[in-house]
């Protein structure tokens, strides 16, 4: 699809810079869904998003608490579905409080609940290559996210 974007990164710092670009462009209500195996860079990208929102502190994976909230230019709701195995558990989390909150939601392991999440979002698929290499596939769903990907392409001079 022409709206998609694929970026290959060669280091955690490069993945974080991409995340920072997303955070800089983020608006209240944005929903970023992250999908990929363990160790492919989902939390690393989220750390960058946090920096782009003006949060200099490390953003650990929320795997053991499900949701972490950070305050910056916008609130960051970092959500992780890794420990949830049943879609009913996810449905009972009260996600609307975060989705309709005063910030953006970044959801790791989002593939476990795609049917429960709003249809408009930016889906980013992570793939391990070799060493520190990662492939990030951006799949915008909805005009807001098509525009966001276009802004990112311009920022990084990609076409």
Name the phi and psi angles at 74, rounded to 5.
Answer: -130, 155
- Which pLDDT does position 159 carry in this prediction? 59
One pLDDT digit (tens) per residue for the chain, 159 residues: 578 999 999 999 999 999 999 999 999 999 999 999 999 999 999 999 999 999 977 666 655 568 888 898 999 999 888 877 766 666 667 778 888 888 999 999 999 888 889 999 999 999 999 899 999 999 999 999 999 999 988 877 765
Domains of the chain: 5-153 (3.40.50.300)
DSSP state of 85: -
Element (H, E) at 43: helix 42-52
Positive or negative torsion for Cα 17, 47, 36, 89? negative
DSSP state of 62: -
């Amino acid at each position: 699809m022409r709206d998609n974007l694929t970026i290959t990164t060669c280091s955690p710092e490069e993945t974080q810079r991409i995340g920072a670009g997303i955070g800089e462009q983020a608006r209240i209500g944005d929903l970023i869904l992250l999908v990929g195996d363990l160790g492919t860079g989902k939390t690393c990208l989220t750390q960058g998003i946090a920096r782009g929102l003006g949060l200099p502190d490390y953003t650990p994976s929320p795997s053991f608490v499900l949701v972490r909230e950070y305050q910056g230019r916008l609130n960051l709701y970092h959500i992780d579905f890794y420990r949830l195995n049943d879609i009913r558990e996810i449905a009972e989390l009260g996600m609307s409080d975060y989705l309709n909150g005063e910030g953006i939601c970044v959801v790791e392991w989002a593939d476990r609940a795609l049917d429960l999440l709003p249809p408009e979002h930016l889906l980013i698929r992570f793939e391990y290559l070799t060493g520190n290499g990662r492939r990030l596939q951006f799949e915008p769903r909805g005009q807001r996210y098509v525009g966001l990907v276009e802004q990112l392409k311009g920022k990084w001079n990609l076409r």
